[in-house]
Structure 1
Amino acid sequence: MDFYLDTADLEEIKRLNKLGIVDGVTTNPSIIAKTNRDFKETIIEICSIVNGPVSAEVTGQTVEDMLKEARDIAEWAPNVVVKIPMTEEGLEVVNILSGEGIKTNVTLVFSVAQGLMAAKAGATYVSPFVGRVDDIGEDGIELIQNLRTVLKNYNFDTKIITASVRSIGHLEMAAKAGADIATIPGSLLPKLWKHPLTDIGIEKFLSDWEKVAK
């Protein structure tokens, strides 16, 4: 499973990228707004830090507006991916961009049907939001499992990005379900390598060593 950071915090991206576990970055308008920085400059800098895909989202609602934005964004860096919302207009845009060789990430997916439509339109990636699905009383991980089955049944190349990951459990279950990628907030990622028994073990080793060293 690949790990994408769900952030636009440049210092956070630089720090975590040094660990060798960051395969890409996803952003959205809300995340970019928190940085108080220029959208284009931020995306270009992120693309220069990480080698993997960097998703940058359009904000237009019409086919014409989204296409104009998407084509512009696609020119910013060779590893940029254009993020498109799951709407009728969005599917048309994805279909057109796919024909032009522009990589897309269809976002705000909450059902297998939506994921299937995105794949049929030619999406490079599809992003089901497991946390938000859980919020409405449904099973986000089951969505990942079912979408994985459907895409495999029909040999789609579209990759599944598990989004709205809120816990270690979400990540682990998404990996078991066969998701290609998980996009993870920077605040959650450190929890993946930490464990109380690891801390206790280190303290014990150091304590024992100090006794011998004396």
Structure 2
Amino acid sequence: MIGHQRDILATLGIDIWVPKDAACQNMPSSSIWRDQAAPEYLSEIVVAKAQPLIVPEPKAEPLKTLDQAEPLPTPAVKEVQAEIALPVVEERPALHIAAFQLQAFGLPHCVIVTDATELSAEQQQLWNNIQQALQAEYYELQWPFPLINFQDGRGAESYVQGFIDAISADKNIILLGQFSYFNHSKIIHLAGLQEMLDQPLLKKRLWQFMQKTKQNMDAT
């Protein structure tokens, strides 16, 4: 038995072998299956190439035409109320002070100011004579302030300060008598109008200041 035939029998599960010396039936050699078996030829196994996987494309749906744009849903917003502690401002009542009037006239080297709120006829006449003695510019301030929101008496001193600063510039300031709502380092206090009427010699000192130049007044 050739090796090829043994492989075929082993593949079929036949493991019975006939001894070499055993008598066997004479049969024509053409009727034996093993002699008639056609030789097998090994052939190459052809493996078909894998075809690429074709994924069907999704069909595009036609866009819907809307006559009116639909509003987008607004996300709900949770309102958080934060408690803010504000400082407590104590409102102070406005300070009311009596109305007053300041009058002044300016010379090249000084400004003469007096409280003209309640002038008698004699005081007014003396004040007019002082103004006419030399050519000067006349100024006047009235309180209360014309604007209602600025009539608090606490601002009266600043109001007067601004008025005097505006008319005096770098000049000396001569104040006749006393005035409660103004205090400045440049002030030169002289006798008031009523004091000059009572003591006419006091007019001489005012006249001396009016005739002096700025340098002489600073030296004084």
Shorter-chain TM-score range: under 0.3
User: Whose Rg is larger?
Assistant: 2
TM-score scaled by length of structure 1: 0.24
TM-score (ref. length: structure 2)? 0.23
Higher helix share: 1
